[in-house]
Amino acid sequence: MKTNVVIRLVLQLTVCTYAVKSQTATPVLTPADLQGKITTNTVILKQPHCYFNETCSDCEIWLVPAISSAANSFDGDSTNNNILTLSPYPSAFGPQSKNYFLTKVGPQSDFPCDKSSDSLYFVVGSDGNCTTTNCNGILPTGSVVSFKYVLVQTSRITKVTNWSANITLFTPQKPASIYDGFVARSGAMVVITTILSVALGLLLIFFIVLCAVCGQKKESKPITGRGSMRMPRYDTHNLKDRVQPYENSAYEPERRK
């Protein structure tokens, strides 16, 4: 009798310990050195390597992105037989919606325990504005979101991780609110801009004065050709009937200065 009681206690302790271990993992942002881990509508998480102890050939790992205030809503729906399609993405964040959706990450066999897994990541929202039920769509801009990995077998959730910490997405700033005048600049920037403007103006004035001075120094000189105007007379040997030298009527004697 005592032996049976001990065996039952050991089995219960084993089950409880296993259940706790299967839920101690918590989704986190990727530790990899990446830009844009958090944007206005996407988040880059660490892949769920070694998140679940249980192994099965047909098990898949899914991700639950949710508005942080809707985390309890998913927890209450997680035992529903139609949980994978209960909150389809296209309408997941609309009016009167559940504010969460599920998207497939991959087979559990693709995420073994591996020390090099820290460099691997999963981009939430990589499918953009998609329209299928479980697509990896973008998140509501500027919202506060949480994430949970779940283990799915034959369309039912068997194990879950903890919810991640709340993550606040960025809110894009309106162009009209961005002021680029002198008020938004530092004092040093204003001084540097003023000095450069004055220096450029002085350089332009110097260039104009230099061009004017150089233009005044130029003197026009008469063109002194060496053509027929320098020859008073010459013989036209090609004309047989011509005996006397030809007098050049266009001859102009050179002027002495």
Q: 207 in helix, strand or coil?
A: helix
Take residue 137 and report the two structure tokens written for it. Answer: 């769509």
Between residues 4 and 42, which one has the greater pLDDT? 42
**Entry pTM:** 0.62
Neighbours of 234 (CB within 10 A): 11
Runs of H (alpha helix) within the chain: 2-22, 71-77, 83-86, 187-217
Distance between CA atoms of residues 209 and 145, nearest Å: 67
Residue 158 has pLDDT above 90, yes or no: yes
Looking at residues 162-186, what average pLDDT do you find? 78
Tens-place pLDDT, residues 66-114:
999 999 999 999 999 999 999 999 999 998 999 999 999 999 999 988 8
pLDDT over threshold 60, residue 254: no
- Can you tell me the mean pLDDT for 17-24? 44
Residues 6+ apart with CB under 8 A from 67: 93, 99, 100, 140, 143, 144, 145, 146
pLDDT tier, 20 (very low <50, low <70, confident <90, very high otherwise): very low
pLDDT tens, residue by residue, 119-142? 899 999 999 999 999 999 999 999
What residues have CB less than 8 Å from 62, skipping those under 6 apart? 84, 102, 103, 104, 105, 134, 149, 150, 151, 152
